[in-house]
Amino acid sequence: MRKLLFAAFCFFSGELAFAQLAGLAGKAKVDAFLKEMAKAQAAVRTLAAEFRQTKVSRLLQQPSVATGTFYFAAPDQVRWDYKEPRPMVVLMTSKAMVTYKPAERQAERVELGRNQRKVFSFLSATEPLAGLSRHFSFALRDAGEGNNYVLVLTPVTHAIKKRLRSVELAVDRKTFLPVKVTYTEADGDVTSYEFSHIVINGSLPEGIFALELPPGVKLTELKLRGSE
């Protein structure tokens, strides 16, 4: 029943927001869109989805594709379960990020400071837009009913410009949540994450944000410069 009510809320609020945005243009439309998206993000307590990661690089003869399952629990717990072509787990909490590669029997734990947490949250598409306004400018593309909105983020700070050229978020027209995130790096490499079978505010598997490494796995501990 709770899922049904939430779905109805998303539908009617999305229809209302669409009607309001339809009469706006320029900065006024961008500002109104950002408010609706922030409202949608704030309502998400949990999220699970299948993902498809595609990386295009001048160093690769053909695009690299990986698939798996993404889990999120507010405010800052994230897990990427890569299934194909090679199993891998990337788990992020408020204090650290752990990457576990079962086939290599290796894991890496990186302690994160406040700034690093923001960066990794952003790369996981879970950082609230309000926290990004100091680092990016926003532009909105709207191809009309039946198409996703596309929010384009362009870095304005030198530190981010050194790493990213742009970020594009394809945002569902009714839920105002991202369904695809595309990063273009400074060197021209492009990585995209496309989400499907999205479940919002549903139950997540018990213990999904706990990662117990099997015996014999080599764990490397790292601390990024500037970690707190």
**Which strands, in side-by-side order, build the sheet including 106-111?**
136-142, 149-155, 164-171, 178-185, 190-200, 46-56, 64-73, 77-84, 88-92, 96-101, 106-111, 218-223
What per-residue confidence (pLDDT) applies to 22? 64
What per-residue confidence (pLDDT) applies to 5? 39
Q: How far is CA 161 from the centre of its chain?
A: 19
pTM: 0.81
Q: What stretches in the chain show pLDDT beneath 70?
A: 1-25, 113-131, 224-228
What per-residue confidence (pLDDT) applies to 109? 93
Please name the fold of domain 2-207+216-223. outer membrane lipoprotein receptor (LolB), chain A (2.50.20)
What does the pLDDT look like over 130-182, one tens digit per residue?
667 788 899 999 988 889 999 999 999 888 888 889 999 999 998 999 999 99
CA–CA separation, 118 and 25 (whole Å): 30
Q: Residue 135: helix, strand or coil by DSSP?
A: coil
Contact present, 65 and 54 (Cβ < 8 Å): yes
What per-residue confidence (pLDDT) applies to 96? 86
CA–CA separation, 192 and 187 (whole Å): 15
Helix residue ranges, H only, 23-75 = 26-42
What per-residue confidence (pLDDT) applies to 107? 97
